[in-house]
Amino acid sequence: MNIILVTAIFAAVLAFALGLALGFFREFFKVEEDPLKGLVREVLPGANCGACGFPGCDGYADAAASGRAEPNRCTVGGKAVAEKVAALLGVSAGAVSPVVSVLACRGSREHAPQKGDYRGMATCRGAKLSTGGTKRCVWGCLGFGDCLRVCRFGALSMGEDGLPRVDYGKCTGCKVCVAECPQGLLRVIPKDQQGALVLCSNRNPLRAMVKKNCKAGCIKCEVCVKNCPEQCITMDRGVPVVDYAKCSSCGTCVSKCPAKVLALIQTGVFAPAAEAVPAERAV
């Protein structure tokens, strides 16, 4: 009994001593936090999406308060938040160009056939890792809705054709869906961007294989390159790329493309989305 009592007393004294030591070292080695960081953090939306290039809103607040980041980095907060952060820092907010995600694929259920009856993990990443993809077009959208599940703003829904739809009124350009897509089909563009956009990522150089695997794929005919009056389109690994510094939105490439994989951003991309279904029906 005495041994138990002595042990208990010794443990309590030791715990008390360690507590005092920890308290002392915490005070002795603590780093004073810049109060400006807290003020900046309060005006941020708290999405912690990382689109600013820093690890969450705390990371961005620290960088902005210390002068390591511009006040207009928060794409979620947009112009309103940029102006508040700039006012706290005593600088100009600068230009804020909203960005949104766009799907560079038209491989719907109608256009892109499946390899077979897939019975594995019902996620895009799972299907990609286990079978290399469920569609004959290995570059196409797999349609399991991984991007929908990570979107924190309800900007993505699944269309009846099996392709994600972006609500550009809700999309903040946070890039979380871009990072989640194992096919790399979602990309961010400025919301005020104008010009032609290629809605296909099929890099197969063989025209016959493209047609076999996806009826809506780019057939590598280079008609867009040859007919562009501004000479602003080049081929990069089998996919047309537009130089927006030269593009005049004339629409020549859009009208000439036999596969109809090109669209003008301002009219053919940012048009009202088709009927969509909730994320739980994505599979």
3.30.70.20, 3.80.30.20, 1.10.3720.10, 3.40.50.1000: which CATH number matches 99-281? 3.30.70.20
Whole-number pLDDT of residue 26: 72
Question: In the predicted model, is pLDDT for residue 65 greater than 50?
Answer: yes
Rounded mean pLDDT, 223-240: 94
* Out of 81-90, 93-102, 208-217, 247-256, least confident range: 93-102
CATH assignment, 37-89: 1.10.15.40
| 183, amino acid identity | Q
Helix (H/G/I), strand (E/B), else coil: 148: helix
List, for residues 256-279, the tens digit of each pLDDT value: 999 999 999 988 888 654 444 444
State the pTM of this model.
Answer: 0.75
* Mean confidence (pLDDT) of the chain: 87
The secondary structure of 41-66 as a DSSP string is HHHS------TTSSSHHHHHHHHHHT
State the virtual CA torsion across 91, 192, 229, 223 in degrees, nearest 10.
130
Q: How many CA atoms lie within 13 A of 227 on its CB side?
A: 13
Query: Among positive and negative, which fits the CA dihedral 46, 49, 50, 56?
Result: positive
**pLDDT at 283 exceeding the cut of 70:** no
Tell me where in the chain the CATH 3.30.70.20 domain(s) lie: 99-281
For 172-206, the pLDDT digits (tens) are 888 999 999 999 999 999 988 999 999 999 999 88
- For the segment 15-31, the average pLDDT, to the nearest whole number, is 72
Q: Name which of 75, 96, 97 is nearest 152 in CA terms.
A: 75
CATH 1.10.15.40 segments of the chain: 37-89
pLDDT in tens, 214-226: 999 999 999 999 9
